[in-house]
């Protein structure tokens, strides 16, 4: 199955059933790891909104959620300059924090989010990402604890991920197949 966004054709990479299954497994892992604790989930907007919503439905332990919004994309290229658009709205001091990301590519955005969170002096920081592109990483992270899927270094859209603001609403995840003349 293929879709078109602007002048780009995308092909199916991950069906929602696969995504849902892996999110369920991550939820079980977090429920076990944080049993009798009260973690704070920090969802990185905009891309992680679908992932965060589906994951939190699987979390059975007590928890809180907050949001940060950073911008690092212009079209399909990741910019070196990261802008913090919306900050934290709660204290994270002595809290167990789980950062929710839709995708970790270069790691520039994640590095900034981790630095922002660590300034708040949390008890611990873990990262949970739906997608990880190991070949694209420019930083090392000890904090990445939960990964839904490792994928190749390809441009993807759907399930919260976009191309120029389009495609976030797609249930499945698609990878760039070709440019359309």
Calpha distance 6→123 (Å, rounded): 45
105 annotated active-site: yes
Q: Please give the model's pTM, rounded to 2 decimal places.
A: 0.90
Residue 35 is part of a domain; what is its CATH number?
3.40.50.2020
The predicted pLDDT at position 89 comes to 80
Regions in the chain scoring below 70 on pLDDT: 71-86
Q: Name the residue range of residue 165's domain.
A: 2-6+21-70+82-179
The predicted pLDDT at position 151 comes to 98
The predicted pLDDT at position 109 comes to 85
Calpha distance 45→53 (Å, rounded): 12
Calpha distance 131→32 (Å, rounded): 22
- The reply to whether 102 falls in a domain is yes
- The reply to whether 34 falls in a domain is yes
- The reply to whether 12 falls in a domain is no
- The reply to whether 131 falls in a domain is yes
**What's the pLDDT tens digit per position in 63-83?**
999 988 875 545 545 555 555
Q: Which is catalytic among the residues 64, 105, 115, 120?
A: 105
Phi, psi (rounded to 5 degrees) for 165: 85, -5
């Amino acid at each position: 199955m293929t879709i078109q966004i602007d002048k780009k054709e995308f092909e199916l990479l991950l069906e929602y059933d696969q995504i849902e299954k892996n999110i369920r497994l991550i939820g079980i892992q977090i429920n076990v790891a944080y049993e009798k604790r009260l973690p704070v989930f920090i969802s990185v907007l905009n891309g992680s909104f679908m992932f965060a919503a589906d994951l939190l439905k699987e979390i059975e332990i007590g928890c809180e959620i907050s949001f940060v919004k950073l911008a690092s994309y212009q079209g399909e290229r990741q910019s070196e300059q990261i802008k913090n658009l919306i900050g934290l709205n709660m204290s994270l001091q002595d809290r167990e924090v789980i950062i929710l990301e839709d995708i970790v590519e270069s790691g520039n955005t994640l590095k900034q989010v981790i630095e922002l969170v660590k300034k708040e002096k949390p008890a611990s920081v873990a990262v949970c990402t739906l997608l990880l592109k190991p070949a694209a990483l420019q930083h090392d992270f000890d904090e990445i604890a939960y990964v839904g899927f490792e994928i190749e270094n390809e441009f993807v859209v759907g399930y919260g991920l976009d191309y120029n603001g389009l495609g976030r609403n797609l249930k499945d995840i698609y990878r760039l197949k070709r440019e359309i003349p």
